[in-house]
């Protein structure tokens, strides 16, 4: 669907007019939570999207032909519905990525997620957590100086995005003093 809609304003307009829903979300390749959210979107609007795919006709469009084949698969709807049991994961990911959370709050999000997951999913989560040995230290006891330490790499990724904006061409005239103030405000905007 992404390739069918991506570079065609006409197809996007046809989709919006026919389906009367927003365009499908575009997942970020490196963020599997976005893939789940996209799957939830398709599950929720599956029937109307199938109708759209069956109705439109763009001659010799390979992507459309593949889509028509795909929606004929009887198991697709069931597989998308099965993914809904992981909705709690995407909510927890979004919650734990919030800036300024204390370590205790972040650990509570993980504990609450553990309570809601099935055995198989819980094993997968524990396997991911076991790859982060520092997390075990936080669960036992941690010094006060790291009370607001992030347990995810999202803040690091955010800082790269912020630095990209700071190091832009239109910022070359910054004095050291103004740059320091600007960086302070950018990194502490959640306070």
**How confident is the model over 48-57, as pLDDT tens digits?**
999 999 999 8
- Split at pLDDT 50, 70, 90, the class of 191 is low
Q: What angle do CA 152, 154, 82 make, to 5 degrees?
A: 75
pLDDT in tens, 22-51: 999 988 877 777 888 899 999 999 999 999
Gyration radius of the chain over CA positions: 22
* Predicted local distance difference test score (pLDDT) of residue 184: 81
Quickly count helices (H) and strands (E) in the chain. 12, 0
- For 74, which DSSP code? T
C-beta separation of 37 from 25 below 8 A: yes
Give the integer Cα–Cα distance in Å for 186 and 165.
Answer: 10
* Predicted local distance difference test score (pLDDT) of residue 12: 94
C-alpha distances in Å from residue 86, one per residue of 37, 179, 188: 10, 43, 32
User: What is the three-class DSSP state of 175?
Assistant: coil
- Split at pLDDT 50, 70, 90, the class of 162 is confident
Q: What angle do CA 142, 143, 146 make, to 5 degrees?
A: 90
pLDDT in tens, 87-98: 888 888 888 888
Q: How far apart are the first and last CA of the chain?
A: 40
* Predicted local distance difference test score (pLDDT) of residue 10: 92
Q: Kindly state the percentage of the chain with pLDDT values over 90.
A: 27
Give the integer Cα–Cα distance in Å for 13 and 3.
Answer: 15
* Predicted local distance difference test score (pLDDT) of residue 9: 93
pLDDT in tens, 57-106: 888 889 999 999 999 998 999 999 988 888 888 888 888 888 788 888 88
Give the integer Cα–Cα distance in Å for 96 and 150.
Answer: 9
The size of the chain, in residues, is: 191
């Amino acid at each position: 669907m992404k390739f069918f809609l991506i570079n065609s304003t006409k197809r996007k307009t046809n989709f919006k007019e026919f389906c009367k829903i927003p365009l499908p979300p575009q997942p970020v390749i490196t963020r599997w939570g976005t893939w789940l959210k996209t799957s939830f979107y398709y599950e929720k609007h599956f029937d109307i999207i199938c109708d759209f795919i069956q109705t439109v006709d763009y001659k010799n469009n390979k992507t459309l032909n593949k889509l028509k084949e795909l929606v004929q698969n009887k198991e697709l709807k069931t597989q998308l519905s099965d993914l809904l049991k992981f909705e709690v994961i995407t909510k927890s990911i979004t919650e734990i990525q919030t800036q300024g959370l204390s370590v205790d709050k972040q650990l509570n999000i993980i504990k609450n997620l553990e309570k809601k997951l099935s055995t198989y999913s819980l094993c997968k989560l524990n396997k991911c957590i076991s790859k982060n040995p520092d997390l075990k230290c936080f669960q036992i006891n941690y010094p006060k100086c790291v009370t607001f330490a992030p347990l995810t790499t999202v803040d690091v990724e955010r800082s790269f995005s912020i630095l990209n904006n700071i190091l832009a061409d239109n910022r070359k005239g910054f004095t050291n003093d103004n740059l320091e103030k600007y960086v302070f405000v950018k990194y502490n905007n959640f306070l």
